[in-house]
A and B are shown apart, each in its own frame.
Chain A
Amino acid sequence: MSAPLIEMRGITKSFGAVKANEGVNLSVAPGEILGLLGENGAGKTTLMNVLFGAYAPDAGEILIQGKPVRITSSADALAAGIGMVHQHFHLAPRLSVLENLLIGIPGRSGGIDRAGGLARLSDISRRHGLTLDPDLPVSALSVGEQQRLEIVKALFRGARLLILDEPTAVLAPSEVDGLFSALRSMAAQGLGIIFISHKLNEVRALTHRCTVLRHGRVAGRVDDPANTTSAAMAELMCGHEIVPPARGPSTPGAEVLTLDGISTSRHSGTPLRDISLAVRAGEILGIAGVSGNGQRALAEVISGTRSPDAGRMTIAGKAVTRFSPREVQALGLGRIPEDRMTTGLVTNLPLADSMVLPRIGTAAFSSKGLLKPDAIRAFAEEQIKAYDIRCPGPMTRAGALSGGNLQKALLARELAFDPKVLIVSQPTRGLDIGAARFIHEKFLDMRAKGCGIIVIGEDLEELLVLCDRIAVMYEGRIAGTLDSADATIARLGLLMTGAEGRA
């Protein structure tokens, strides 16, 4: 193998007393896809920020093709041939694909070199199968296409090493395949790729080698990911063995949530068409489907943030009439939204405020229009302790918490009121193995206590582990429902593509 494209030697970076990285070594050869693994907070992002020039390391050096370089800004990183695709895209939504590519690249005589840009775009598209319509505004692109544009943007600027930070978290399963084949094609043409992910099956399918971080240090390396078990890699990440949660036999009781002929219209996204389903006490019902097939509208109707045009819904035997958050909550529904940061919590206010938000008007937290600050604080402190939410205290800004801790906080705020039904969307998206495991265990505890749970998700493996039954949505309808004993990824996948049939 030739000299490494990039090498990081002995990288150490501290924030105050916290050592985010300590003596980390990492290298990527041309044509190599390196997996970078680690739990949240293990130091992956810090390491990549050092590489991309956002942080200056306290110690250590970066070598590019054997030569030491100093990278103090993203401009330096780009000049050194390092491109990064962040989890949150950096695109100008009103500008076209081509204009986004040309931002910051001066053409001749200060203008925009449209013809040259088009030629380079078509060259990159052709070589890696990354096709994009140059004149479409970014706002018209799907999430997958926006990600493709970010990758093309990096290549456009001459990146020879591409860093992708959890690129599959935002993609539908079908889009993941497209991304992987593009990445393989880039590697085949000599580019180096660093692939950051929590999803071990993806890491095993894609990468040539893995570096695993734990508590800021390199915990181990995996030389043959394809032939290493997920369990072995998970153990490297967590430092201990991970046992998948065991779902005991189900003893479902009465129906706690029913939907009968629910339809919606007049909104963006896929409307619901005649949805009927029921969740029984002590049962976990999964809702699978490719993103954008009506899952969002379904979650909104059940959560009381959208009124259906037709159909009936009952919670614990009582009819829902107004479809307001307060009504469904009062009937015994617990709700965890898909988007923790914007819908679930108020990032700029203290965590305690977010934890009491849906029930601020109830006697527990206020009376006669006056808040009970002591009760609010005590409730938050209690839940922080009970759910092991890692934060300095209830007055911490909610936005300062990690994804896993935010999800624990949301779970705590709902479960504290013993819901009869719980609806949750994408419960473990972006969470590391430990946090996801915790969330799963809580769901199974609730199930054992007789709570009915409805889990909307795209991760089929997760649904298969967790759910008693799985319904598949396709274009706003329920395409079919499978008992999880009969369900396989293949059968679910067939339903997800619209192949009709009830099992």
Chain B
Amino acid sequence: MFRLEVRTSTPAWFNLALPLLAVGATLVLCSGLIALAGAGVLEAYGVMFTASFGDSYAITETLVRAAPIIFTGLAVAVAFRAKFWNIGAEGQLLAGAVASCFVGAIPMPGVLAILLMAIAGAAAGAAVALVPATLRVKFKVDDVVSSLLLNSVIYYALMALIEGPWKDSFSGYPISPPIEDSASFPVLLEGTRLHLGVIAALIAAPLIWFLIVRTTLGFRIRVTGESPEAARYGGIHVERVLISTALLSGALAGLAGVGEVGGVHFQVMSDISPGYGYSGIVVAMLARLNPLGVVPAAIFLAAVMTGAEAMSRATGVPAFLSDVIQGTALLAMLVALLFTAYRIRRVGAAA
């Protein structure tokens, strides 16, 4: 018989071991589905790996995929540090995409356009995140529910825009007009899609880490998240910290949308985000809310997404496996987190 016993301390190497354990468990669990679909497990994972890391082009594609997830992962990590439960990164991303696309469609010099797109996208994301934060601070409305439901509001508002007033008149599809050519993000590596937004995401992670660990705002975010009572007693304006956190979190998610418009799609369509906002939650949990950990976690999920399509083509296993892997990884990580607080002890057979 086994039993859970409370831990008095958590070893430091757990921070690295737990996500790896969760990822390992996920791949093992999902291999059953692959076998069920009639493919060889090792072959399928092999195809996935080759497709996402096999050559330099594959690696750049994985990074392009990872960029929005890094931003949403950072958005969620920052919010969860303050225990502001922002499940709305998806809607904030969409709002950022719409705002930056509006700005990008206005003719102006490229550098200015990119700058204004980023500002507009971040502001739009922040504005969306402000809604659940204000509802929570002023009226004690549960932020999980309000931020989650707002995603649908934003999504259908976007649909209404691109099916109606904002529909591209030169296209039969429900898509927005494209941004100006001058507003598209520069590509950093000839022949790939590795755009400016990817670099921005890779730089954002250490910046956010610095903010959390080394600034007074970060200190206040951490303390507010761990103990609002102690924070308030210690002179921290808890409501103000929650609002600041929400603005920061929403802005980061908004930037995810900016990168997709400026560097990948150059316009807004209904499927501009295949759930990057939700992937951000998985990534933030795998990273244990550490902004630096968000980068490898996002690259892992991006690789799963790119790899799953190739695997589907090569072995016939449906690409939906990528969603299953994401979901399983989140569950596996939540279970793994149990071991930070508890240890498993073997006890003799019950008397």
Contact = CB atoms under 8 A, between A and B. Distances in A.
A356 to B, nearest CB: 9
Interface in B1-16: 3, 8-9
B337 to A, nearest CB: 13
A369 B216 contact: yes
Interface string B103-119: 00000000000000000
B227 A360 contact: no
A343 B8 contact: no
Interface of A: 15, 56, 69-73, 76, 303-305, 324-326, 329, 335, 337, 339, 342-349, 353-354, 357-358, 360-361, 366, 369-371, 373, 397, 400
Interface of B: 3, 8-9, 214-220, 222-223, 226-227, 229-236, 347-348, 350-351
A345 B230 CA distance: 6
B226 A348 contact: yes
Given A345-B230, A354-B230, A357-B230, A371 B219 contact: yes
A471 to B, nearest CB: 23
B264 to A, nearest CB: 34
Nearest to B345: A56
Nearest to A327: B235
Nearest to A73: B350
B219 A325 contact: no
Nearest to A54: B5
Contacts of A335: 233
A370 B350 contact: no
Nearest to A357: B234
Contacts of A324: 235
B233 A373 contact: no
Nearest to A303: B233
A72 B2 CA distance: 12
A135 to B, nearest CB: 29
B348 to A, nearest CB: 7
Contacts of B3: 73
Given A76-B350, A369-B217, A400-B9, 10 more contacts: A303-B233, A325-B233, A342-B227, A345-B227, A346-B223, A346-B226, A346-B231, A347-B227, A358-B233, A360-B220
B229 to A, nearest CB: 5
B216 A361 contact: yes
B220 to A, nearest CB: 7
Given A70-B351, A325-B235, A353-B219, A371 B214 contact: yes
B216 A371 contact: yes
Contact of B230 (A69, A329, A342, A400): A342
Contacts of B214: 370-371, 373
**CB-CB nearest 7 A-B residue pairs:** A325-B235, A357-B234, A326-B235, A358-B234, A70-B351, A346-B227, A348-B226
A338 B194 CA distance: 57
A348 B192 CA distance: 45
Contacts of A361: 216, 235
- Name, among B226, B235, B348, the residue most crowded by chain A CB atoms within 10 Å (CB to CB): B235
A397 B10 CA distance: 10
